[in-house]
Amino acid sequence: MMKNLLKTAVVGVTVAAASFALAQPALANSFSRNVGDGTVSYNDGTDSLCVAAFNTEGARWVKVKLVPLSRPGPSPTITDKNNYYGHPGNTCGSLATAYEDTQYRADISSYWGERGTTVTHSSTTFYS
Protein backbone atom coordinates (compact mmCIF):
# COMPACT_ATOMS: atom_id res chain seq x y z
CA MET A 1 0.00 0.00 0.00
CA MET A 2 2.73 2.46 1.02
CA LYS A 3 4.75 1.46 -2.05
CA ASN A 4 1.82 2.28 -4.37
CA LEU A 5 1.30 5.66 -2.69
CA LEU A 6 4.96 6.51 -3.18
CA LYS A 7 4.81 5.51 -6.87
CA THR A 8 1.66 7.58 -7.37
CA ALA A 9 3.26 10.60 -5.71
CA VAL A 10 6.43 10.33 -7.82
CA VAL A 11 4.42 10.00 -11.04
CA GLY A 12 2.17 12.92 -10.05
CA VAL A 13 5.10 15.21 -9.29
CA THR A 14 6.85 14.24 -12.54
CA VAL A 15 3.71 14.91 -14.63
CA ALA A 16 3.12 18.24 -12.90
CA ALA A 17 6.72 19.35 -13.45
CA ALA A 18 6.65 18.33 -17.12
CA SER A 19 3.32 20.10 -17.67
CA PHE A 20 4.63 23.28 -16.07
CA ALA A 21 7.81 23.23 -18.17
CA LEU A 22 5.91 22.67 -21.42
CA ALA A 23 3.20 25.25 -20.65
CA GLN A 24 5.59 28.17 -20.13
CA PRO A 25 5.29 30.84 -22.84
CA ALA A 26 8.35 32.11 -24.64
CA LEU A 27 9.98 34.58 -22.30
CA ALA A 28 12.28 37.45 -23.10
CA ASN A 29 15.83 37.07 -21.92
CA SER A 30 18.92 39.15 -21.36
CA PHE A 31 22.39 37.90 -22.27
CA SER A 32 25.99 38.98 -22.60
CA ARG A 33 28.47 37.22 -24.87
CA ASN A 34 32.21 37.69 -25.37
CA VAL A 35 33.09 37.18 -29.05
CA GLY A 36 36.86 37.56 -28.76
CA ASP A 37 37.10 41.04 -30.30
CA GLY A 38 34.38 42.53 -28.09
CA THR A 39 31.03 41.82 -26.50
CA VAL A 40 27.40 41.60 -27.55
CA SER A 41 24.65 42.02 -24.96
CA TYR A 42 20.88 42.31 -24.84
CA ASN A 43 19.06 43.97 -21.93
CA ASP A 44 15.43 42.91 -21.88
CA GLY A 45 14.52 45.62 -19.36
CA THR A 46 15.53 48.39 -21.77
CA ASP A 47 14.94 46.44 -25.04
CA SER A 48 18.44 47.36 -26.15
CA LEU A 49 21.15 45.36 -27.88
CA CYS A 50 24.64 46.75 -27.32
CA VAL A 51 27.85 45.97 -29.17
CA ALA A 52 31.29 46.91 -27.82
CA ALA A 53 34.62 46.39 -29.58
CA PHE A 54 37.56 45.97 -27.19
CA ASN A 55 39.83 49.03 -26.93
CA THR A 56 43.10 47.06 -27.05
CA GLU A 57 45.73 46.19 -29.64
CA GLY A 58 44.74 48.27 -32.64
CA ALA A 59 41.74 48.37 -34.90
CA ARG A 60 38.74 46.27 -33.88
CA TRP A 61 35.06 46.23 -34.71
CA VAL A 62 32.08 44.01 -33.88
CA LYS A 63 28.92 43.85 -36.01
CA VAL A 64 25.55 42.25 -35.26
CA LYS A 65 22.75 41.74 -37.77
CA LEU A 66 19.42 41.02 -36.04
CA VAL A 67 16.99 38.73 -37.86
CA PRO A 68 13.44 38.30 -36.49
CA LEU A 69 12.49 34.60 -36.62
CA SER A 70 9.03 34.16 -35.09
CA ARG A 71 7.22 37.18 -36.60
CA PRO A 72 8.00 40.40 -38.47
CA GLY A 73 9.95 43.04 -36.60
CA PRO A 74 12.83 45.49 -36.79
CA SER A 75 16.06 43.99 -38.17
CA PRO A 76 18.85 46.49 -37.51
CA THR A 77 22.56 45.98 -38.08
CA ILE A 78 24.62 47.40 -35.21
CA THR A 79 28.37 47.98 -35.54
CA ASP A 80 30.79 49.26 -32.92
CA LYS A 81 34.33 50.37 -33.75
CA ASN A 82 36.88 50.84 -30.97
CA ASN A 83 39.01 53.83 -29.91
CA TYR A 84 41.45 53.18 -32.79
CA TYR A 85 38.64 54.59 -34.96
CA GLY A 86 37.92 57.36 -32.44
CA HIS A 87 34.99 55.65 -30.74
CA PRO A 88 35.86 54.46 -27.21
CA GLY A 89 32.33 53.49 -26.11
CA ASN A 90 29.76 51.00 -27.27
CA THR A 91 26.93 51.23 -29.78
CA CYS A 92 23.35 50.25 -28.92
CA GLY A 93 20.18 49.68 -30.89
CA SER A 94 16.59 49.40 -29.71
CA LEU A 95 14.04 46.61 -30.08
CA ALA A 96 11.36 48.63 -28.27
CA THR A 97 9.11 48.48 -31.34
CA ALA A 98 9.37 44.67 -31.64
CA TYR A 99 6.44 42.54 -30.54
CA GLU A 100 6.99 41.13 -27.05
CA ASP A 101 8.57 37.67 -27.10
CA THR A 102 9.67 37.85 -30.74
CA GLN A 103 12.45 35.35 -31.30
CA TYR A 104 15.59 36.89 -32.85
CA ARG A 105 18.80 35.52 -34.28
CA ALA A 106 21.89 37.67 -33.79
CA ASP A 107 24.42 37.05 -36.59
CA ILE A 108 27.78 38.23 -35.24
CA SER A 109 31.03 39.07 -37.00
CA SER A 110 34.17 40.87 -35.87
CA TYR A 111 37.48 42.20 -37.12
CA TRP A 112 40.89 42.70 -35.52
CA GLY A 113 43.56 44.57 -37.47
CA GLU A 114 46.46 42.42 -36.25
CA ARG A 115 44.69 39.29 -37.47
CA GLY A 116 43.68 41.10 -40.65
CA THR A 117 40.54 39.04 -41.24
CA THR A 118 36.87 39.15 -40.42
CA VAL A 119 35.58 36.30 -38.25
CA THR A 120 32.00 35.03 -38.39
CA HIS A 121 30.89 33.83 -34.95
CA SER A 122 28.13 31.37 -34.14
CA SER A 123 24.71 33.00 -33.97
CA THR A 124 22.84 33.63 -30.74
CA THR A 125 19.05 33.36 -30.48
CA PHE A 126 17.00 35.22 -27.89
CA TYR A 127 13.53 36.64 -27.28
CA SER A 128 12.82 40.38 -27.22
* CATH number for position 96: 2.60.40
Residue range(s) defining the domain that contains residue 39: 27-127
pLDDT value of residue 19: 39
pLDDT by residue, tens only, the chain of 128 residues = 444 433 443 334 343 333 333 334 445 589 999 999 999 999 999 999 999 999 988 999 999 999 999 999 999 999 999 999 898 889 999 999 999 899 999 999 999 999 999 999 999 999 99
Task: Specify if 85 maps to a domain.
Answer: yes
Task: Specify if 19 maps to a domain.
Answer: no
Task: Specify if 10 maps to a domain.
Answer: no
pLDDT value of residue 27: 53
pTM score, two decimals? 0.76
Spatial contact of 45 and 52, defined as CB atoms under 8 Å apart: no
Which residues partner with 105 through β-bridges?
A: 67, 125
CA distances from 13 to 4, 6, 42, 50, 71 (A): 14, 11, 35, 41, 35
Tell me 44's DSSP state: T
Task: Specify if 18 maps to a domain.
Answer: no
Task: Specify if 8 maps to a domain.
Answer: no
pLDDT value of residue 28: 55
Task: Specify if 69 maps to a domain.
Answer: yes
Count of the separate structural domains present in the chain: 1
Task: Specify if 92 maps to a domain.
Answer: yes
pLDDT value of residue 127: 94
Task: Specify if 37 maps to a domain.
Answer: yes
pLDDT value of residue 7: 46
* Helical ranges in the chain per DSSP H: 2-23
